[in-house]
Amino acid sequence: MSRAWGANGVPALSSGARPDEVRRHNRAALLRRLHVAGPCTRATLAAELGLNRSTIKAVVDGLAESGVVTEAVPVQRSGAGRPSLMVIPDPEAAAVLAVDIRVEQVAMALVGIGGQILGRHSWNLHRATRTPGEVITHIAESAQLLVEEVAVPARGVGVSVPGVVRRADGWVHEAPNLGWRDVALGERLGAVLKLPVQVANDAELGALAEHVRGNARELTDIVYISAERGVGGGVISGGAPLRGTRGYVGELGHIPVRPDGRPCYCGSRGCWETEVGEAALCRALGLPESSARGVIVAELRSLAANPMPGPLDEYVEWLIAGLVGVVNMMAPEMVVLGDLFTALPGPVVDHVRRQVHERSLVSRAIGGTRIEISPLGRDAKLVGAAELAFEPVLGAV
């Protein structure tokens, strides 16, 4: 596999490691392989992890004794002779809580090994229920109900927030569309849930989800860009998240693109998100800026057969301008468009692809940066939150 295991939470071994450290490392690496890429044979595990068969046997036997994996004859057999057994992880052997805090809704899922969603809850947010205290209380109550319903305990929690998050401790410096500022979210949630909690920016987790389970699974340099109320970005560079100083990175929506544009809450003018965020899309469609997401998506679908140019001309030009800047700056193999961008009509996306390639020096130099719609849809950040929570958990199973 092309992905470096160390970039996904399995620590590299240092020289002089003790035998128990080696065993823990091998166990975590094997379990992560099964978690990310699914069931496979012992021979495949040995080849991909670079371990000998006796080591693989010892690790698989240990995981089987613990009830973490089982072995079974594959459903589809090929060739004659005795078939190789498939090593299959049990989703319920270790589960995590994934929480995606959005501007108008909170989504929660209990996710098992392999990324299987065992159960989920969601609820709408209104002005009175959007305060940090109300959200934390509702998360705690819903988490207890969800764990009781599924009858599988959670070992960790990952949380996605649409704001500037300090990754070290889950401190939310600012989440303007929620009206939050300086919220110790990681600490407060950890205290009520009695579990390790990790918090990250929503677009960063969208990028992680695409890297592990989306269109970019075999790539090492990608940018994920999402649009809801605002616009955010997450970056995977060299197979690992690019986080910047103290984890504050990804505010691509605040790259100035239009000097004479609308004022932005950040204090600047003509930021990218003022030109391609939800409000800008509503204006382009002739809808009230407060239109519900379903109304926006329905209007976009009605344009699906329209060729370019069309009613979204100016909006698309600003989308292209920002993407060209991102590609020239980051040189990714792929840019993944998430959230509201996933509802853009096919002809629009095709036009964007062509224009980014033609206008970006870097895209032409590397043979064309791929521009793709996220296959994970609105679940991208929930999937990313689960992967964030699994990083330390898989090493302790």
- Sorted by where each begins, the domain ranges of the chain are 5-89, 93-205+380-393, 215-375
pLDDT confidence of residue 6: 44
pLDDT (0 to 100) of residue 79: 57
pLDDT score, position 244 = 80
Euclidean distance between CA atoms 129 and 150, whole angstroms:
26
Topology of 5-89 in CATH? Arc Repressor Mutant, subunit A (1.10.10)
Give me Rg for the CA atoms of the chain: 22
What is the distance of C-alpha 50 from the center of its chain?
28
Contact status, residue 9 vs residue 392, Cβ threshold 8 Å? yes
Q: Whole-angstrom Cα distance, residue 45 to residue 24?
A: 16
Position 80 scores a pLDDT of: 57
Expressed in percent and rounded to 5, the helix, strand and coil fractions of the chain are 45, 20, 35
Q: What is the mean pLDDT of the chain?
A: 90
**What count of Cα atoms within 13 Å lies in the side-chain half-sphere of residue 175?**
27
Low-confidence ranges of the chain (pLDDT < 50): 1-11, 13-14
pLDDT at 97: 98
CATH of domain 93-205+380-393: 3.30.420.40
Residue-wise pLDDT for 159-207, tens only, equals 999 999 998 899 999 998 899 999 999 999 999 999 999 999 999 999 9
Q: How much is the pTM?
A: 0.89
pLDDT at residue number 51? 93
Q: What is the residue whose two structure tokens read 């990313």?
A: 384
CB-hemisphere CA count at 13 Å for 287? 20
Class of domain 215-375: alpha beta
The answer to whether the 93-205+380-393 and 215-375 domains have the same CATH topology is yes
Residue 379 gets which letter from DSSP? G
